[in-house]
């Protein structure tokens, strides 16, 4: 167990080392965008919006944008990174001559993506704190949520990067058909409880919905027992998809 | 009490090793044994099954049947343990393009549990050994093919493996780069590293390997030391004469062991080249006639260059 984690940490270390070469552009790209959303949606659009409930739209949308930021941070890096390491450069082919197993590669990737979500999400949280958008001491639990987002969105991105095969363009089916709808319809930008009934179930199934629910609950101090249900659902999604991505990688690297 | 040293167990033992792709037997029931401390070569044309065999050694491919032991372990069952003790250089250039030269070595060492200063020192040592000392901070893209190949071999040695597997270590390199790689492999051999390599350069096998097997269409068609194979199939000397296309069949006689026609050149395998040439007096241009020692290349062409008998 410890030895296995040490091998996963070696995968983590590779990613951290690569990040050290590119962190300037990486921060600019990955943090500049959510900051822009916060200004555009929160301040600009928000001044025209009344939610029909107490609190500003800015305070409502900020935790949603935190969840979206974490999802994007993890999804794009994992999907493109895994695809390149698998189909283009043979990085994992080389790893498969070493004692590091496919499951350890996947766990190492999870660890690294949690780290990224914590780094970039952490900066976003700090911005929220400075803008007075963290209304509750429960917000100290937000980093736990960010860390969970690592495996939550890395697992499906790894799986898709493997099954998509040699075609780079196929990667975009996932971002366009899965990530984009989640972006718009997971309750990040507007409360979903007034949407038609038939939309509620598909929304409830998306992991991002629960990330946003938990994030908003912790940031605004609206903590209820339902957050446990949200948390449990996220863990179930991880427990289902992570083994799938491990199996796929295993099949790819041992034939 | 007497302390009898036990004979060193072989590095690799394979018996009836089979790998099937669809309905093609890529490796078709081969037997071989790599003694500890030797350089063992797999020769054969492309598609003969050499790479498939290498991949079974480090558990990248699961064998379909047969017995395989690498350093006393079954690579399918004890994949991790085998890989811990093995250094592998695949045919692909799979250096990590996101990392520089030194980082490539250090990160790889990390996969074997080697970290920190120990890993960096080992990396510097190996960079020196492969004449890459000044390139520690270089990008991979900026290295020539020969330098990248040397870095790949250096990378496979970071954890001090007991057995080195090199799949076509010099394919695609220019002659200078190839000779440099050969020198390093020869030095590793002197340090007692067991090496298994595949190649289709016969000079490479003749220079480096104590024992070779020749593969063709998934089977081992011949085995022995390079010297044995040359004497068995080619003899000491070869006479090459010009034999324009369309010329009637060449004469034969007891003076010649075998005659091969390669394009417009006739190869006469003969222990006594003067007697062999006697058969051709007046029929060949003596200015275009060469007498040279037989090489492994002659054996290779003889063994793999002709169509194999059907139903064999």
Give contacts of A253 with chain B, Cβ < 8 Å. 60
- Mutation for testing the B interface, residue in A94, A104, A105 having most B CBs under 10 Å: A94
Residue A82's pLDDT band, with cuts at 50, 70 and 90, is very high
Is pLDDT above 60 for B307?
no
For residue B62, list chain A residues with Cβ-Cβ distance below 8 A: 254-255
A91 and B94 within 8 Å at the Cβ level: the answer is yes
Q: Using the predicted structure, report yes or no on whether residue B103 has a pLDDT greater than 90.
A: yes
pLDDT digits (tens, 9 = 90+) for B269-291: 888 888 888 887 777 777 788 88
Over residues A143-179, the pLDDT tens digits come to 999 999 999 999 999 999 999 988 888 999 999 999 9
Q: Could A98 and B108 be called an inter-chain contact, meaning their C-beta atoms sit closer than 8 Å? A: yes
CA distance B115 to chain A (A): 9
Q: How far is CA A222 from CA A38, A63, A181, A191, A218, in A?
A: 21, 12, 26, 14, 7
Residue B20 contacts A where some CB pair is shorter than 8 Å: no
Distance CA B259, CA B278 (A): 15
Distance from the Cα of B126 to chain A's closest Cα (Å) equals 18
**Chain A interface includes B25 (CB < 8 A):** no
Q: pLDDT tens, B24-45? A: 999 999 999 999 999 999 998 8
The pLDDT confidence band at residue B259, using thresholds 50, 70 and 90, is confident
Confidence of residue B309 (pLDDT cuts 50, 70, 90): very low
User: Which pair of tokens denotes residue A10?
Assistant: 């070696």
Percent of chain B with pLDDT over 90: 57
Out of A55-64, A92-101, B256-265, give the one with best mean pLDDT.
A92-101
Cβ-contact B155, B106 below 8 angstroms: no
Which of A83, A84, A97, A101 to probe by mutation at the B interface, max B CB count within 10 Å?
A97
pLDDT band for position B163 (cuts 50, 70, 90): very high
The yes-or-no verdict on residue B189 having pLDDT over 80 is yes
Among chain B residues, the shortest Cα distance to A20 is held by: B99
Residue A137's pLDDT band (boundaries 50, 70, 90)? very high
pLDDT tier at B2, thresholds 50, 70, 90: low
- In A, minimum Cα distance to B63 occurs at A255
Which one of A6, A96, A99 has the shortest CB-CB distance to B60?
Answer: A96
Distance CA B100, CA B114 (A): 18
Least Cα separation, residue B135 to chain A (angstroms): 17
**Can you give the pTM of this predicted structure?**
0.89
CA A34 – CA A68 distance, rounded (Å): 8
pLDDT of B7 reads: 64
pLDDT band, residue B268 (cuts 50/70/90):
confident
Q: Which tokens go with A207?
A: 């992991």
Instruction: Check CB contact under 8 Å for A89 and B96.
Output: yes
Q: What is the pLDDT of residue B305?
A: 66
- The confidence band for A141, taking pLDDT boundaries of 50, 70 and 90, is very high
pLDDT, residue B311, reads 32
Residue of A113 and B145 predicted with greater confidence: A113
Chain B neighbors of A96, CB-CB under 8 A: 60
Per-residue burial over B285-305, b = 16 or more CB atoms within 10 Å of its CB, e = otherwise: eeeebeeeebbbbbbbbbbbe
Q: What are B54-94's pLDDT values in tens digits?
A: 999 999 999 999 999 999 999 999 999 999 999 999 998 89
Read off φ and ψ for residue B114, nearest 5 degrees. -100, 125
ipTM rounded to 2 decimals: 0.89
- pLDDT for B271 equals 80
């Amino acid at each position: 167990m410890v030895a296995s984690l040490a091998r996963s940490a070696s995968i983590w270390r590779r990613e951290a080392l690569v990040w050290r070469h590119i962190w300037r552009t990486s921060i600019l790209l990955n943090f500049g965008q959510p900051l822009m959303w916060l200004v555009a949606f929160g301040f600009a659009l928000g001044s025209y919006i009344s939610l029909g409930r107490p609190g500003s739209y800015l305070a409502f949308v900020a935790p949603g944008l935190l969840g979206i930021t974490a999802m994007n941070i993890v999804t794009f890096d994992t999907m493109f990174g895994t695809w390149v390491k698998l189909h283009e450069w043979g990085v994992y082919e080389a790893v498969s001559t070493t004692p590091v197993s496919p499951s350890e590669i996947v766990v190492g990737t999870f660890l690294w993506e949690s780290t990224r979500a914590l780094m970039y999400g952490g900066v976003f949280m700090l911005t929220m704190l400075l803008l007075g958008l963290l209304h509750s001491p429960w917000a100290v639990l937000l980093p736990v949520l960010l860390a969970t987002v690592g495996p939550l969105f890395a697992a499906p991105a790894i799986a898709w990067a493997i099954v998509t095969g040699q075609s780079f363009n196929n990667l975009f089916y996932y971002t366009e058909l899965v990530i984009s709808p989640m972006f718009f319809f997971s309750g990040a930008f507007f409360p979903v409880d007034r949407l038609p009934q038939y939309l509620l179930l598909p929304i409830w199934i998306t992991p991002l919905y629960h990330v946003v629910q938990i994030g908003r609950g912790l940031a605004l101090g609206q903590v209820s027992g339902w957050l446990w249900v949200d948390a449990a659902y996220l863990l179930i999604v991880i427990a289902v998809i992570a083994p799938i991505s491990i199996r796929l990688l295993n099949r790819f690297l041992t034939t | 009490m007497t302390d009898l040293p036990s004979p060193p167990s072989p590095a690799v033992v394979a018996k009836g090793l089979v790998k099937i792709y669809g309905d093609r037997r890529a490796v078709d029931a081969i037997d071989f044994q790599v003694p500890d401390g030797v350089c063992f070569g797999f020769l054969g044309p492309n598609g003969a099954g050499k790479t498939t065999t290498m991949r079974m050694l480090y558990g990248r491919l699961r064998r379909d049947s047969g017995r395989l032991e690498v350093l006393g372990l079954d690579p399918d069952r004890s994949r991790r343990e085998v890989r811990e003790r093995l250094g592998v250089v695949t045919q692909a250039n799979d250096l990590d393009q996101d990392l520089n030269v030194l980082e490539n070595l250090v990160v790889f060492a990390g996969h074997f549990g080697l970290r920190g200063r120990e890993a960096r020192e080992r990396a510097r040592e190996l960079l020196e050994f492969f004449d890459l000392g000044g390139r520690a901070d270089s990008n991979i893209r900026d290295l020539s093919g020969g330098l990248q190949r040397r870095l790949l071999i250096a990378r496979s040695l970071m954890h001090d493996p007991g057995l080195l597997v090199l799949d076509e270590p010099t394919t695609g390199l220019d002659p200078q780069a190839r000779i440099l790689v050969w020198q390093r492999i020869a030095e590793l051999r002197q340090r007692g590293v067991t090496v298994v390599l595949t190649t289709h350069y016969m000079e490479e096998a003749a220079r480096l390997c104590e024992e070779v097997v020749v593969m063709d269409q998934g089977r081992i068609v011949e085995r022995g030391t390079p010297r044995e194979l040359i004497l068995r199939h080619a003899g000491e000397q070869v006479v090459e004469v010009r034999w324009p296309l369309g010329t009637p069949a060449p004469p034969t006689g007891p003076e010649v062991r075998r005659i091969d026609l390669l394009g417009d050149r006739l190869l006469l395998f003969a222990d006594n080249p003067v007697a062999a040439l006697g058969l051709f007096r007046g029929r060949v241009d003596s200015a275009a006639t060469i007498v040279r020692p037989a090489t492994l290349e002659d054996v290779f062409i003889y063994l793999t260059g002709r169509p194999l008998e059907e139903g064999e």
